[in-house]
Amino acid sequence: MTEAIFWGGVLRVAQSVSQAAPFILTGFIIAAVFRRWLGPQSVRKLFGEGTWRSLPQAWALGMLLPVCSLGVIPVMREMKRAGLRGGTILAFGLTAPLFNPLSVLYGLTLSEPFTIFAFSICSLAVVTCIGLLFDWAFPAAVVQEDAEESVPYGIKRILSVFVSMGKEFWSYSTVYILIGLSGIVFLNVILPKASFQTSVNGGDLWAPILMTCVAIPAYATPMLAMSQLGTMFQHGNSVGAAFALLILGAGLNFGIIVWMVIAYGWKKSVCWMVVLLGVVLGLGYGLEKPLYPTDIDPADHSHAFDVYCCPFSVDQSHLPAAVWQKLEDDIRPEETFGLISLFVIATSGLIFLTLDRRFNLEKWLTSSPEVTDEKSCSMDVVLPNWVLAAAAIIGLVVVSVAMCFAYYPTPEECLEEIFIVKGEVLSAARSGHDSHAMHWIPVWEDWNRRLQVGVYLREFELSDYHRMKARVVADYIELLEHAIEDDDREEVQHFTTLLARAHSRMVRAFKN
């Protein structure tokens, strides 16, 4: 029991760190750009501080920037340093992890587009109401720290951002990120393997409350939360629980809560949390009937929430090898890039901190270079800091949109990948290699979804006919998974045949 919990915690933390790495990297970049290129005054102007549009503006910026609930922590700390009000900071911090171009496109094919639109509007209502109440109840004067000396244009201005990122890594931001990861360890301890499969079925009045209790300590990237959201709609789970999972599971964690308590005091933090939970649960129960899908057969359980439970059973052996194999199978190329980038930033930060003991790095960065060639200097185009900052932020959004086309390839490429995965699943299932089949089943489900998003991304629509063909395949994949879990060989042979036929019909539909 203890060994399963220990290695389960190791696996869950490693998975969360790898999934969060690209988003944490983005958070450090945004915080450094705010600090070095924009400065406190421009950051306040960017968020419309002191105007009626500050909260909607924070919501809109949060919708565009690709960060998660861990990556948003350094950005929130920099916003507070710039002198923004608490309501604006919390509105941005709660919205930014929920949506980005990649996850919104993913969600548009997981359920009806109106559902995603309704959830987006409700998230705006949540952050606006809570932000207004927070600023009205606690109208304390905002303390603004002194702006750092400006860095002269040239290579030093670029280097200053990298220096800021390295130093920020070795600040309290990383401490809060680690605290945020502790929530997934907590769930690993209290939730045994597959213990949450039947807890949030549709019609259960306790489902939103139960999901709230799990979502607060959980960590979910925007993509994971959106995929779980779609799975809940496909299985007929509680709509209120789905809304709680999106707002609290993707937007909140223990690290943000601890930062709030330290930054604003426990009284303000408790009041904010009470209002947040009240608004989320109120909207969740209000959305239950209007958004509940009527064209599906409710399932009695779902595997979508297994990632919040302990991944290993008590009698499972060879756990270290299982952890390593799972990580090798799950880590994506973009996650590997994020992990390597964070390692480089951490190493550079240590070097910068060591240099500060013997050499005044900050003084060197802010010192003006001597002019040696007036003619060459007169040919330089000097861009204001706000132009560079705007280019960096817009660039992050553009990269996020471009990644949509890379992550969701053309239908032809998706069908080629699905053909390979199909062979792995069906051959392993028919020959009794259950572990091999169970490894490839989630891969098939993922490519089945990416096929639909790829079509939607390029055609701006996905017909009900194509959606239904893909849904039939997804249903048979799940039925095959259940048959393998039950070790019913007759059912396995039956569903592999039906799945192969459904796949052939889907291929013809998408090709024609």
Query: Mean pLDDT in each 10-residue stretch from start to end of the chain (512 residues)?
Result: 88 94 93 90 87 84 86 94 90 85 67 72 83 83 66 83 94 96 93 83 87 92 81 81 89 94 92 91 88 73 81 84 86 90 95 86 74 49 80 81 80 92 92 87 88 84 86 90 87 93 93 82
Residue 466 within any structural domain of the chain:
yes
Place of tokens 């920099």: 78
Helix segments in 331-407, DSSP class H: 333-358, 361-366, 374-378, 385-407
Residue 421 within any structural domain of the chain:
yes
Which residues span the domain enclosing 264?
A: 2-192+203-337
According to the 3-state scheme, what is the secondary structure of 456-475? HHHHCCCCHHHHHHHHHHHH
pLDDT for residue 146: 63
CB-CB contact of 334 with 22 (8 Å): yes
Looking at the structure of the chain, the number of domains it has is: 2
CATH number at residue 489: 1.20.120.290
237: which DSSP letter? B
* Same-domain check for residues 436 and 328: no
Distance separating the N- and C-terminal Cα atoms of the chain: 53
* Same-domain check for residues 433 and 312: no
Rounded distance, CA 462 to CA 459, Å? 7
Place of tokens 């988003």: 23
CA dihedral 90, 94, 96, 101 (to 10 degrees): -150
End-of-domain residue from the set 307, 337, 367: 337
* Same-domain check for residues 188 and 294: yes
How is residue 165 written in tokens?
């990122």
3-state secondary structure of 201: strand
Radius of gyration of the chain (CA): 24
How is residue 474 written in tokens?
């997804």
* Same-domain check for residues 322 and 471: no
How is residue 416 written in tokens?
């080629």
* Same-domain check for residues 333 and 421: no
pLDDT for residue 458: 84
* Same-domain check for residues 229 and 330: yes
End-of-domain residue from the set 313, 337, 361: 337
End-of-domain residue from the set 311, 337, 363: 337
Of 423, 429, 421, nearest to 494 (Cα)?
429
SS3 percent helix, strand, coil of the chain, rounded to 5, is: 75, 0, 25
* Same-domain check for residues 262 and 130: yes
pLDDT for residue 371: 46
pLDDT for residue 254: 95
Cα–Cα–Cα angle for 401, 396, 93, rounded to 5 degrees: 100
* Same-domain check for residues 227 and 115: yes
| CA distances (Å), origin 341, targets 23, 220, 330 | 11, 21, 19
* Same-domain check for residues 232 and 325: yes
Residue 343 within any structural domain of the chain:
no
* Same-domain check for residues 287 and 419: no
Residue 232 within any structural domain of the chain:
yes
Q: Which residues contact 119 (CB under 8 A, 6 or more apart)?
A: 229, 243, 246
Half-sphere exposure of residue 428: CA atoms within 13 angstroms, side-chain side: 18
Rounded to the nearest angstrom, the gap between the alpha carbon of residue 476 and the centroid of all alpha carbons in its chain is 28
Q: Which residues contact 218 (CB under 8 A, 6 or more apart)?
A: 183, 184, 187, 249, 253, 308
Q: Which residues contact 441 (CB under 8 A, 6 or more apart)?
A: 425, 477, 480, 481
Rounded distance, CA 304 to CA 49, Å? 40
* Same-domain check for residues 175 and 304: yes
CB-CB contact of 308 with 196 (8 Å): yes
CB-CB contact of 229 with 110 (8 Å): yes
CA dihedral 272, 276, 278, 279 (to 10 degrees): 130
Rounded distance, CA 90 to CA 127, Å? 8
Residue 398 within any structural domain of the chain:
no
Residue 252 within any structural domain of the chain:
yes
| CA distances (Å), origin 324, targets 184, 279, 328 | 18, 41, 6
How is residue 214 written in tokens?
């799990």
Report the sign of the C-alpha dihedral through residues 160, 161, 162, 167, in that order.
positive
Residue 347 within any structural domain of the chain:
no
Rounded distance, CA 235 to CA 237, Å? 6
* Same-domain check for residues 168 and 307: yes
pTM for this predicted structure: 0.86
Residue 382 within any structural domain of the chain:
no
Rounded distance, CA 383 to CA 42, Å? 15
CB-CB contact of 8 with 312 (8 Å): yes
Of 263, 20, 291, 1, nearest to 142 (Cα)?
263
The dihedrals phi and psi of 208, each to the nearest 5 degrees, come to: -60, -40
The dihedrals phi and psi of 396, each to the nearest 5 degrees, come to: -65, -40
pLDDT for residue 449: 84
CB-CB contact of 173 with 278 (8 Å): no
Other C-beta atoms within 10 Å of 375: how many? 6
Cα–Cα–Cα angle for 253, 192, 19, rounded to 5 degrees: 40
Rounded distance, CA 342 to CA 364, Å? 25
pLDDT for residue 509: 92
